[in-house]
Amino acid sequence: MIRFHEVGLSYTDGVESDGRAGLVLRDISFTVPSGGFRWLLGPSGAGKTSLLRLLTLAVRPSQGEAVVLGQPIHLASRHALALLRRRIGVVFQDFRLLGHLSVFDNVALPLRLDGRPEGQIRADVAEMLRWVGLAERMAALPPTLSGGEQQRVAIARAVINRPALILADEPTGNLDEAQAERLMQLLIEMNRLGTSVIVATHQTGLVERYAAPALRLERGRLVGDG
């Protein structure tokens, strides 16, 4: 369901002034089966966010072949990518909440894009906000929330429409231990129901508590797959 074959990524679209190819990811090959769980590990600057940006279809590979949810993204049309993106839930490292929309409306967004009936949206969003402990902040605007609260809204938005694939970039970076525990329960439950999950983190404590195969990046290369 995810298959990368010798994928490279350059943000400079070619060659650096010193003549080297400016690749932040190189020779990346791995597969994640449908319903798989993977940690994405590596020190800061190793390329974790860049790899997730390929998987979220924000950028296309500069080299190689990448298949996401069965679609070859190096070949897909913009329209096909837009449809595919709706099946992927993303927790961005910097949240990317819409500041002028309420917590409720931020979380409801993926359901409204899917055209779900408003009554169902109301019930689903209320239940999800209870789960992440934000039922009382439903009407608040994101800029008035703490970092941890914003992170929980971002998580709720990413999982609300039961995407086929969840990608989370350091999703517990702003959470205390109890909240992080709860988030992991949520991701594991989604995974158990068939969603593929990839979680980038450098928090080794989290990885130790939840044993799962890891993709390890170092300076833009995959150094371990398993």
Ligand X SMILES: Nc1ncnc2c1ncn2[C@@H]1O[C@H](COP(=O)(O)OP(=O)(O)O)[C@@H](O)[C@H]1O
Interface with Mg ion by CB under 5 A: which range of 42-50, 141-149, 204-212, 215-223? 42-50
The binder of Mg ion chosen from 28, 41, 49, 56 (CB under 5 A)? 49
Q: At closest approach, how far in Å is the CB of 216 from ligand X?
A: 11
Interface with Mg ion by CB under 5 A: which range of 43-51, 103-111, 137-145, 218-226? 43-51
C-beta of 16 vs 94, nearer to Mg ion: 94
Restricting to residues 163-222, name those near Mg ion by CB under 5 A.
Answer: none
Phi and psi torsions of 183, nearest 5°: -60, -45
Q: At closest approach, how far in Å is the CB of 24 from ligand X?
A: 4
User: Which residues does 91 contact at the CB level (< 8 Å), separation at least 6?
Assistant: 151, 154, 155, 158, 166, 167, 168, 169, 171
Q: In DSSP terms, which residues pair with 216 in a beta bridge?
A: 41, 224
The residue at minimum Cβ distance from Mg ion is: 49
Rounded-to-integer distance, Cα 3 and Cα 12, Å: 24
Q: At closest approach, how far in Å is the CB of 219 from Mg ion?
A: 14
Q: How many Cβ atoms from other residues are within 10 Å of residue 136's Cβ?
A: 10
